[in-house]
Every structure is written in C-alpha cells, then in structure tokens.
C-alpha cells in the first residue's frame, strides 16, 4: 500500500487547516449566542430561517465527503453518467415541493413522522422514526468512514485499518462537539460557511489541474472523447441502460434507473428523511420551504459537475503521459478511491493542500452535524415527549443534546464497521465510494418511501402493515446483496448483480404492496389522507 511523502503536509497546510477549525469555533460561538429555550427553536430555528440559507444548507447536507472524494473517482474511472442521476433528483424535488412540504406545514409537524401518526397511528410513527434513525446510522456512518480515509492519510500517511479507526474517532468527536453548540440554526449557518469552503477548494483543484496539464482545452476534450481504441467516451452523460441483450441491470446511472430506482431514492431522501426535510421545515411558510428545495437543486447541479470535471482532469493528469510529457506527475496514481486525495497531498502547492483538506472536512462535517441534529430531534419529538410528557422545554432541549451524543457514538461505531465492510468488498464491481454511500441508504429508504406513498396518496395502510412494510423493505434489500443471494440460491441459478437503483425499485414495490394490505381505521381516514386533494404549495 503506498505511503505518502513526509513533506506531503507542510506547516503552511497545517496552519490553513487550523484556521478552518478556528473558523468553526468562532462561527459556533457567534451562532450559539441566541439561547435555545425550547425545542421549536432548537430543532426548527423558530421557523425564521431565510430561503437562501436553507437551500445552501440542503446542498451542504447532500454534498458529503462521498461527493468530494467519490465524484472525482467516478469520472476518473468511468464517465459523466453519474450526472444523469440529477434527472431523478429534479423530478423528486418537484414532487416533494408540490405535495409533501405543504402537507408537513399544514399539519404543523415537528418531524415528518408525526404525519404518519396523524394519518395511521402512533405505532406507525414510532416504526418509521426508528427506521429513519437506523437508516441514518447506515448512511452517515458510511460517510464518516469515507472522510476518515484522507484524515488517516494526513495523520498517519497510510490508510491502514487501525489508523482509519482512529480517524473515525476524531471526526466523530468533532462532529458531536460542534452539533451541541447551537441547534439547527447554528447547523444551517455553519453549512453556508462549509459550502463556500469546499466549493472554493474544488475550484482551486480544478485551476491547478488546468495549469499543470500542458495542452489546450481542445486536446483535453479530444483525449476524453477518445480515451482508447476499445473505450467509450468519458464525456458520455446519458446512457439509456438497454444493451443488445436487453436491460442492463448492473449499470447504476442510466435513463431507466433515473426514472425508477433513483427517483424513489431521491423521493425518500428529500421527502421522508428528516435529516433533509428538517431544513425545509425551518422556513416561514410551506411556499418558502418548497422554494428552498428547488433552489438547492439548482445550486447542487453545477457543484456536482465541478467535482466530476476534477475527476476527468485527474484522468488526463495520471493516465495520459503522452499529453503530460515532462509535466507528468512524480508520484504514480494510487487506487481510485484515493486518487483525488493523493493529488491533493502530492501535487497541490503548499497552503492549497490545507485548503483542499479543509474543504473535504467541511463536506464531511456539514453532513454529520445535520444528521446528528435530525436524529436528536426525532428522538425527542417522536419518543421522549411521549414517554416523559409535561416536562419543561429546557429539559427537552437537554435531552436532545444527550441524544446527539448518543447517536454520535453509534454513528462512529458503524463507521468503524464500514472500515471492514467496504474494505472487504472494495474490489467488487460497482464498489466506488459514491455507490457504497448511496447503496447503504436503500435499506431504510425503500420501506420509508413506500409507507409515505401509501399514507399520503391512498386510504390504505394500518399500523401493522406499516411495520411489516418497513421490515420488508430492509429484508428484500438485504436478500438482493450478492453476498447473501449467492448463499441462499442454488448453484444452478444465474449470478444476480443488480445495481442498487434496481434493488431500491424491487424493495420499494414489495414494501408498498405489503403496506397497502392494511386497512386504515375510521379515526385515521377522517384525515384528508390522499394528497390528490392537495393543490400546490401553500
């Protein structure tokens, strides 16, 4: 395994990185000066947050370390088809803005799972809340692990398992500490700062790469369009997903997956995951909350393209010595998951290396802070208030902070598990970091989106069928994993390799069918359940 040069991280880089963490401390102090006297203020920001800040916070939450490292890796190894996933994101966000957010505001919910209690019953809310929190442990824990890779490279100059575990512990402690400072208001304003940092970092990397590659834009584009005699263009953006033998189920990002599994995944992320929806509930009205989601998508698309462009230039930099000539890198390319980190540590000028690492940690911590706050909010509003009703608001805020610490520890432990989980499967097809980060989300998302679609668009669903659907979503996703499928099927069966969007589609369909078996009680059906009666945003 390659080690890094002793001088990979200079004193100026350490100073730059220290300046970033100092900025976090100062901003945390500033944003925490307003007392968090009740849960509405601590978890919803008093519903006084401006649309633009909420939109940027949504982008910062969606753009984790998986995007910072994984998007360049995707372009470096393949092409630009990952961008086609934005088709699904745009459609999903428009649906959430038109239907989901207006209902959340009209019902005045503190967490999205309270809607299920109003529509179906308290057991449905409890089951969905637990599914969210367990699913968030999977998703955010995987992202902590991904961020630990560069942290270990900086601290120890290698990504051995023991060093990754220490890096996970450091990142988790920093995330917990900062989340405790000032509630969702602090998280949102800090996300604004974090976003500008990691976008500036990616922009700096792009500029350095353009400067280091000694040929013009025309030659770069030609080399990307014609990478080799048997290789397809690396500038391909849209792949229908149908080959000579029919639908190509092993491909992750195609037009077919964008209109099916990826659409469901994004609908779950923006409409049923309280980590994301919580930000949209901090606006003054449903119309503003919906607008914040739409603005977030408009901002996110060029940011993702920026990281993909970095990956394409990394391909030219490392894989086209015929174009680089005497400007070829001194250090050979490493494994693709570490390719961007290797470039940062070996090729970036002193000072800019620290800025890039600050940007990476900004992406990681912005996602971690928001996840911990959302999990604390869900625990207090959906569980603790029911078990201990009638306590003071300051008491509930205190319990929310304790929940942040507890869930932070759990996230860190799952990230440690990911060190071994992904490490053992990293060589399997499709195990790029972004795919790994998105795939773990399907375990919870498939059941959640099925339950919400049932509750909001039909008059079906009962407490029992909701619980059964959530379990089915998890189990059907689990069964479809290659490691499990190969063990439970006869050797004569063909090997199945379904990309995670297809796994999401199958699991969600099964969960939706199971959820619809339940018959809603008379008390629940008195609510205006089907969303077809809702017209636009309020």
| Structural domains in the chain, sorted by start | 14-530 (1.20.1730.10)
Q: How far is it, in rounded angstroms, from Cα 186 to Cα 33?
A: 10
Contact between 455 and 116 under an 8 Å Cβ cutoff? The reply is: yes
DSSP structure class, residue 248: -
Instruction: Give the pLDDT of residue 450.
Output: 97
Q: Which two tokens stand for residue 275?
A: 């980590």
CA 80, 508, 124 angle in degrees (round to 5)?
Answer: 130
Q: How far is it, in rounded angstroms, from Cα 438 to Cα 4?
A: 29
What lies within 8 Å, CB to CB, of 178 at 6+ separation is: 24, 28, 190, 365, 369
Higher per-residue pLDDT: 238 or 26:
238
Instruction: Give the pLDDT of residue 529.
Output: 46
The predicted-structure confidence for 105-146, as pLDDT tens digits, reads as follows 999 888 899 999 999 999 999 999 999 999 889 888 888 888
Cα-atom radius of gyration of the chain, to the nearest Å?
A: 23
Instruction: Give the pLDDT of residue 259.
Output: 95
User: Percent of the chain at pLDDT above 70?
Assistant: 88
For the chain, first and last CA: distance in Å?
56
Tell the burial category of 316 from Cβ atoms under 10 Å away from its Cβ (0-12, 13-18, 19+): buried
The predicted-structure confidence for 436-464, as pLDDT tens digits, reads as follows 888 889 999 999 999 999 999 999 999 99
Residue 59 has pLDDT above 60, yes or no: yes
pTM here is 0.88
Model confidence at 532, pLDDT cuts 50, 70, 90, reads very low
The predicted-structure confidence for 238-275, as pLDDT tens digits, reads as follows 999 887 778 888 899 999 999 999 999 999 999 999 88
Model confidence at 159, pLDDT cuts 50, 70, 90, reads confident
Phi and psi at 273, nearest 5°, equal -95, 110
Residue 339 has pLDDT above 60, yes or no: yes
Helix locations, 107-250, DSSP H: 114-119, 122-156, 161-212, 217-225
Using DSSP, how many helices (H) and how many strands (E) does the chain show?
A: 25, 2
Map residue 121 onto helix, strand or coil: coil
DSSP structure class, residue 520: P
Phi and psi at 46, nearest 5°, equal 65, 10
Q: Which two tokens stand for residue 33?
A: 């000066």
Residue 175 Cα distances to 24, 411, 528, angstroms: 11, 11, 40
What lies within 8 Å, CB to CB, of 172 at 6+ separation is: 144, 368, 408, 409, 411, 412, 415
Higher per-residue pLDDT: 43 or 75:
75
Q: What is the mean pLDDT of residues 193-216?
A: 90
Instruction: Give the pLDDT of residue 35.
Output: 61
Instruction: Give the pLDDT of residue 37.
Output: 62
Q: What is the mean pLDDT of residues 461-487?
A: 91
Q: How far is it, in rounded angstroms, from Cα 310 to Cα 328?
A: 17
């Amino acid at each position: 395994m390659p080690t890094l040069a002793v001088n990979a991280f200079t004193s100026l880089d350490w100073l730059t990185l220290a300046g970033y963490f100092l900025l976090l401390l100062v901003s945390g102090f500033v944003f925490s000066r307003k007392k968090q006297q009740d849960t509405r203020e601590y978890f919803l920001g008093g519903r006084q947050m401006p649309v633009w800040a909420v939109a940027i916070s949504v982008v910062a939450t969606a753009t984790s370390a998986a995007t910072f490292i994984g998007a360049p890796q995707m372009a470096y190894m393949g092409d630009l088809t990952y961008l086609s996933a934005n088709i699904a994101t745009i459609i999903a966000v428009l649906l959430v803005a038109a239907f989901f957010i207006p209902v959340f505001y009209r019902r005045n919910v503190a967490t999205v799972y309270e809607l299920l209690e109003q529509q179906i019953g308290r057991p449905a809310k409890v089951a969905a809340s637990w599914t969210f929190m367990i699913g968030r442990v999977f998703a955010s824990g995987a992202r902590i692990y991904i961020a630990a890779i560069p942290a270990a490279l900086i601290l120890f100059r290698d990504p051995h398992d023991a060093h990754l575990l220490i890096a996970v512990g450091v990142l988790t402690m920093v995330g917990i500490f900062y989340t405790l400072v000032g509630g969702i208001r602090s998280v949102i304003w800090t996300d604004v700062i974090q976003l500008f940092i990691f976008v500036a970092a990616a922009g700096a990397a792009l500029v350095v790469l353009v400067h280091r590659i000694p040929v013009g834009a025309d030659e770069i584009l030609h080399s990307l369009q014609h990478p080799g005699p048997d290789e397809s263009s690396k500038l391909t953006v849209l792949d229908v997903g149908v080959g000579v033998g029919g639908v190509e189920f092993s491909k992750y990002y195609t037009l077919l997956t964008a209109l099916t599994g990826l659409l469901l995944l994004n609908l779950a992320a923006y409409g049923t995951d309280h980590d994301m929806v919580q930000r949209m509930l901090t606006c003054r009205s449903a119309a503003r909350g919906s607008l914040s989601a739409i603005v977030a998508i408009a901002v996110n698309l060029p940011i993702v393209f920026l990281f993909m462009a970095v990956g394409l230039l990394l391909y030219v930099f490392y894989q086209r010595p015929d174009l680089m000539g005497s400007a070829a890198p001194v250090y050979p390319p490493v494994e693709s998951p570490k390719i961007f980190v290797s470039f940062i540590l070996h090729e970036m000028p002193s000072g800019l290396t620290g800025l890039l690492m600050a940007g990476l940690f900004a992406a990681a911590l912005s996602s971690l802070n928001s996840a911990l706050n959302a999990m604390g909010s869900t625990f207090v509003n959906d569980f603790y208030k029911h078990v201990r009703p009638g306590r003071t608001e300051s008491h509930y805020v205190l319990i929310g902070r304790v929940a942040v610490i507890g869930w932070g520890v759990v996230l860190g432990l799952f990230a440690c598990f990911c060190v071994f989980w992904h490490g053992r499967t990293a060589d399997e097809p499709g195990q790029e970091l972004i795919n790994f980060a998105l795939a773990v989300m399907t375990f919870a998302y498939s059941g959640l989106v099925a339950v919400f679609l049932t509750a909001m668009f039909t008059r079906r669903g009962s407490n029992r069928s909701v619980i059964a659907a959530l379990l089915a979503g998890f189990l059907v996703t689990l069964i479809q994993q290659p490691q499990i499928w190969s063990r439970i099927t006869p050797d004569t069966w063909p090997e199945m390799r379904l990309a995670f969007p297809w796994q999401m589609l199958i699991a969600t369909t099964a969960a939706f069918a199971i959820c619809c078996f339940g018959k809603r009680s008379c008390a629940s059906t008195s609510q205006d359940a089907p969303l077809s009666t809702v017209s636009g945003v309020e």
